[in-house]
Amino acid sequence: MSRLIVVSNRVSAPMDPAAGSVGGLAMALSSALRKYDGLWFGWSGETVEKFVPEAKIEDRAGVTVALVDLEPQDVDEYYNGYANKTLWPLFHHRVDLTAYERSYGEGYERTNARFAEVLAPLIRPDDVIWIHDYHMIPLARDLRRRGIKNRIGFFLHTPWPARQLLVTLPHHRRLVESMFSYDLIGFHTREWLDLFRDYVASEPEVRGKLLPNDALEAFGRTVQAGVFPIGIDVEGFLRARNSVFGRRTYDRMAASSAFRTMMVGVDRLDYSKGLEQRLLGYEQFLTDNPDMRGDVFLLQVTPISRDEVDTYQDIRSRLEGLAGRINGEFADMDWQPIRYLNRTYRRDQLAGIYRAAKVGLVTPLRDGMNLVAKEYVAAQNPEDPGVLVLSRFAGAAEQMGEALLVNPFSREELSDAIKRALTMPLAERRRKWECLMECVRETDVSIWRDDFVASLRAIDRPADGDSDPAARAA
């Protein structure tokens, strides 16, 4: 069987069982690479004074990885710049935070061309290539320009933006055109795919055709698109939940919340996660329900990320001030309404924390999927499960309709959902949990992985690589 080459911005394989959601994804991809005798390619995370177009090949727990170092300018313009200051906020509908700097776009194009320069010599004629996420959208085009005719698939781990917002991006047409060098494009949800199709069919500069079975024709090429909802490593997470460390964490949290009900939120520090809105909704709940004060508290776990970006420094400062204000207004001598933590926890620790929480708050303003929602469900005690409060703007909401779906922009709606979750009868909690857990099992990360790879392998490529406009333009 042909090799599978996985390409991502950072090579994270393999992860140990203590890792969280990202670790579950890394382990699933690592398993596929072992199965197909594959290769994982990406940035090493290191910088060098002068770029060297050569990969460092290593073996990591049976997975062959190919690492490339970048120049500091590449990291600043490609990663910190275009990826995290331009595409990330834009794809999450935050045009107000999007930086449209020409140097960022130039660095993005240059760095992806460098990735292609290093990767192309490693590719064998029958390899299948799977490229991940917004960091590397043009990579297939750059590989085609170097004569690569293999099947190449792309999976987007974020939402796709509405057309009216995407057109604020300079050279948006060029970005989308580069995606037609792929054979298969995968999205988390039907909504993200439909937004992509709307751009292709409606943008005056494109005017592409929508073909049956979600294929699209534009820029002289046809590409297959599809919905591939990602999930968690269910069995791995259940093992973590039932491990000695998982049970010990549960016991510790249960003891620390004795006589009180714990709610939990676990989110990377990011403006897309709706953290400020969540705290304001919780504040509204405390205001609306004075009789429940002292009986409930929120454990908000928020690991710091991208702290070198000014926007993230600002949100960290605002959250700390907001949590402090709410605690100052409502706390009593033996009760604090919010426990706000800026640190990471192992997957088995998180499983224990989730299991001890009677309410899980997953309320992003916009999210590609959100695997915390699925982890929270998987961690629950079937006999006495907690309740998931889920933003309708998370990708997971498309699958997890039995959660309490909320508009995270409305503090009153959040307040009402928190109260309903805390007072929900056991029979209703069990019924909802059973439906949600069935969804979690049906979207296991290994199913997502195998479905995408099988779909990519099934695509017939033209015999002549010059049929690709990217190859002709080279």
Whether the CB-CB separation of 346 and 371 falls below 8 Å is answered with: no
Q: Please name the residue that has the structure tokens 């039995």.
A: 402
Is residue 384 part of the annotated active site? The answer reads: no
Reference 436, options 354, 353, 367; nearest CA is 354
Amino acid identity of 420?
Answer: R
How far apart (Å, rounded) are the C-alpha atoms in residues 133 and 154? Answer: 7
Whether the CB-CB separation of 340 and 300 falls below 8 Å is answered with: yes
Residue 158 main-chain phi, psi, to 5 deg: -110, 175
Provide the β-strand partners of residue 263. Answer: 298, 359
Q: What are the E-state strand segments in 236-319? A: 261-266, 296-301
Q: What share of the chain is helix, strand, coil (3-state, %, to 5)?
A: 50, 20, 30
Tell how strand 63-70 and strand 128-132 pair up.
Answer: unpaired
Largest separation between any pair of C-alpha atoms in the chain: 75
Is residue 367 part of the annotated active site? The answer reads: yes
How far apart (Å, rounded) are the C-alpha atoms in residues 160 and 177? Answer: 15
Kindly list the distances between the CA atom of residue 236 and the CA atoms of 11, 19, 382, in Å, as whole numbers in the listed order: 21, 10, 18
Q: Distance between alpha carbon 120 and the CA centroid of its chain, in Å?
A: 27
Q: Which of 135, 157, 172, 188 is flagged as catalytic?
A: 157
Task: Tally Cβ neighbours within 10 Å of residue 61.
Answer: 11
Q: Which of 133, 214, 270, 367 is flagged as catalytic?
A: 367
How far apart (Å, rounded) are the C-alpha atoms in residues 129 and 147? Answer: 14
Reference 21, options 282, 319, 373, 431; nearest CA is 373
Report, as residue numbers or ranges, the catalytic residues: 157, 367
